[in-house]
Amino acid sequence: MVEFTFAPSQIKSVKKDEEEILFLGFMASDQAYCFHINYIKEILKIPKIFTLPQTPTFLKGVIELRGTILPILDLKERFSLGSVHPKKGRIIVLTISNQMLGILVDRVTEVFAVSPKEIKPTPLVIHQTILPFMEGMVLVKDMLYYILNPKNLLSAREYKMLESHFPSYEENSKKQE
């Protein structure tokens, strides 16, 4: 099931005087996004996802990952861009405030390092439904990545909904209020 697992120290050694930040880039539809590497636990091929009743359409269900029940969020559906193909996509497993969450994406592109000076603010003309999730933008080679804050992918209400299915999410819902 695991495609590959890594620790930030295995990817690249970054000197402190360079002040570079590592990101994992990925695609959802035709747009490139990225998460700060510190949130990434692993990347998986998509296994069987077990659906949950009475949940938003972007919450696809759960998978069993080495004894842990992991909720799965479809990023494309979260952004109203369709849904990830179950045979072609990937799951990025994130750790957010000591809780794991799987994010469905079309494909993972690369791990890259950028200087904080290269990160630009998100323009206010970005669609208002996506703007709260974004922390900025960065151009890498010929690809413009939207930097996503995984802590903002769910609202306080949505964390409470997860809490009803997964009691360990109680801590996250309190932090979002």
- Tens digit of pLDDT for each residue in 126-143? 656 666 788 899 999 999
pLDDT score for 170: 46
Which span out of 8-12, 15-19, 109-113 was modeled with the highest average pLDDT?
109-113
Q: What is the mean pLDDT of the chain?
A: 82
Which of 2-11, 99-108, 125-134 has the weakest average pLDDT?
2-11
Q: Are 134 and 127 in contact (CB under 8 A)?
A: no
The average pLDDT across 109-128 equals 86
Integer angstrom CA distances of residue 160 from 6, 8, 157, 174: 30, 31, 5, 9
**pLDDT at 176 (0 to 100):** 43
Low-confidence winner among 22-36, 58-72, 102-116, 119-133 (lowest mean pLDDT): 119-133
Is there a contact between 71 and 60 (Cβ–Cβ < 8 Å)? no
pLDDT of residue 129: 60
Q: Which domain holds residue 157?
A: 2-176
- For residue 109, what is the domain's CATH number? 2.40.50.180
Q: Residue 12 — pLDDT band, cuts 50, 70, 90?
A: very low
User: Who's near 77: CB < 8 A, 6+ residues apart?
Assistant: 57, 58, 60, 83
pLDDT in tens, 136-171: 999 999 999 999 999 888 877 877 777 666 655 544
Question: In terms of C-beta density within 10 A (0-12 exposed, 13-18 middle, 19 or more buried), how is residue 67 classed?
Answer: exposed
Which are the contacts of 2, defined by CB distance < 8 A and separation ≥ 6? 42, 44
First to last CA, the chain: 35
* Rounded alpha-carbon distances, angstroms, from residue 165 to 71, 100, 146, 154, 162: 9, 14, 30, 15, 5
Q: What is the pTM of this model?
A: 0.81
If you average pLDDT over residues 87-100, what whole number do you get? 90
How many domains does one find in the chain?
A: 1
The 10 Å Cβ neighbour count of residue 24 is 23
